[in-house]
């Protein structure tokens, strides 16, 4: 991988994007696996965070497990693109915002502690921009465990995990919010996290173990910035098919090499008919189109109309909003 030439950095990113250890000194566990000192592991991660190759060492939360979210889009006039993107980014609940090649050119994810919070976010964006907002709610995920291999070897798609929301307890939301923002890059990050929450380290680690086993924490590890690491040709491909076909086509598409995300969403009548969504993260546009051509040849997708929306710019990428915050002024 041309953007990560150091073999130790490659291993650090390859092996610890998920299943990060829940231990008193987790970075020492990484160091032992890599044959390094703990301080060097911390230095390497801090450097990669500073240079924008990773966003954090932390968690992603299973969609719908403890918070609400939706994919949304607006059609911003070209001359207003920067203005509209800034208004969207100003919302605390917006954790991703991308420009894509389509008339609906700004695509963002709105998150919040409940659906009412998400609805309020979308309403404010519509009111402040004067634009219609497409609300494309998740129906079911087929693969949302995004990860990237630096070695260039084929990525293994983890099997879908059952999410047991009954494992949630009082006090878990602030813990998950903090973990979504990222652990401190220190010798004992869970102790530092516990101190900020005024809780014991043992309690924090115990709850993280439970939440991870329950699938509420879908991934715990190093969260990379794929564009900075060379995956610069990223295409959202949407598929127009009857609802009854999605249950067969979705798993087949999710398992196809090169497809990094796959899920079903509700269409918007007379505006946006697409139900099945997939992401292709590739190193070049031609590579992405090759993956798409192979996906189109799947029997489950024969003769299914699709639309390809390449990403051209990332305006915002951060963790989800799980706890309430005041809306941006």
- With 0-12 / 13-18 / 19 or more C-beta atoms within 10 angstroms meaning exposed / middle / buried, residue 104 is middle
Domain annotation for the chain: domains and CATH numbers: 1-155+165-226 (1.10.10.2890)
Report the distance separating Cα 87 and Cα 83, nearest Å.
Answer: 6
**pTM of the predicted structure, to 2 decimals:** 0.79
Task: Look over the chain and give the mean of its residue pLDDT values, rounded to a whole number.
Answer: 89
pLDDT in the model for residue 18? 85
Report helix, strand or coil for 191. helix
Give the pLDDT confidence score for residue 156 in this predicted structure: 53
Task: Read off the pLDDT band of 33 (50, 70, 90).
Answer: very high
C-alpha radius of gyration, the chain, whole number: 20
Distance CA 111, CA 70 (A): 7
Q: From 224, 222, 323, select the one nearest 281 (Cα to Cα).
A: 224
Q: Which residue has 């024969």 as its token pair?
A: 302
Instruction: Summarize pLDDT for 65-104 with one digit per residue, the tens.
Output: 888 899 999 999 999 999 999 999 999 999 899 999 999 9
Based on the number of CB atoms within 10 Å of its own CB, is 251 exposed (0-12), middle (13-18) or buried (19 or more)? Answer: middle
CA distance 260 to 281: 7
Q: What is the mean pLDDT of residues 291-318?
A: 94
How many Cβ atoms from other residues are within 10 Å of residue 106's Cβ?
25
pLDDT tens-digit map of 230-251: 567 889 999 999 999 999 999 9
Q: Which of 146, 147, 151, 184 is nearest to 46 (CA)?
A: 184
Q: Which helix (H) or strand (E) holds 220?
A: strand 217-224
- pLDDT band with cut points at 50, 70 and 90 for residue 2: very low
């Amino acid at each position: 991988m041309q953007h990560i030439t150091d073999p130790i950095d490659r291993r650090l990113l390859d092996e610890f994007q998920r299943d990060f250890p829940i231990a008193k000194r987790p970075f020492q566990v990484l160091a032992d696996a890599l044959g390094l000192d703990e301080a060097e592991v911390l230095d390497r991660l801090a450097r990669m965070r500073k240079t924008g190759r990773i966003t954090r060492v932390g968690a992603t939360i299973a969609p719908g497990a403890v918070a609400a979210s939706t994919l949304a889009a607006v059609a911003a006039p070209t001359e207003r693109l920067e203005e509209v993107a800034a208004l969207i980014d100003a919302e605390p609940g917006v954790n991703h915002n991308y420009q894509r090649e389509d008339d609906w050119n700004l695509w963002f994810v709105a998150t919040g502690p409940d659906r009412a919070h998400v609805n309020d976010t979308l309403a404010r964006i519509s009111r402040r921009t004067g634009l219609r907002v497409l609300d494309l709610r998740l129906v079911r995920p087929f693969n949302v465990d995004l990860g990237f291999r630096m070695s260039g070897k084929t990525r293994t798609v983890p099997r879908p995990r059952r999410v047991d929301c009954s494992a949630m307890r009082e006090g878990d939301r602030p813990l998950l919010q903090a973990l979504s923002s990222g652990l401190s890059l220190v010798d004992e990050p869970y102790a530092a996290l516990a101190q900020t929450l005024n809780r014991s380290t043992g309690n924090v680690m115990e709850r993280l173990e439970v939440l991870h086993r329950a699938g509420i924490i879908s991934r715990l590890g190093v969260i990379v910035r794929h564009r900075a690491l060379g995956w610069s040709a990223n295409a959202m491909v949407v598929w127009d098919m009857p609802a009854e076909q999605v249950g067969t086509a979705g798993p087949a598409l999710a398992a196809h090499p090169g497809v990094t995300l796959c899920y079903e969403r509700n269409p918007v009548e007379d505006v946006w008919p697409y139900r099945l969504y997939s992401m292709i993260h590739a190193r070049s546009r031609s590579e992405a189109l090759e993956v798409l051509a192979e996906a189109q040849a799947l029997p489950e997708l024969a003769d299914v109309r699709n639309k390809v929306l390449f990403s051209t710019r990332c305006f915002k990428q951060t963790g989800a909003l799980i706890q309430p915050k005041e809306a941006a002024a």
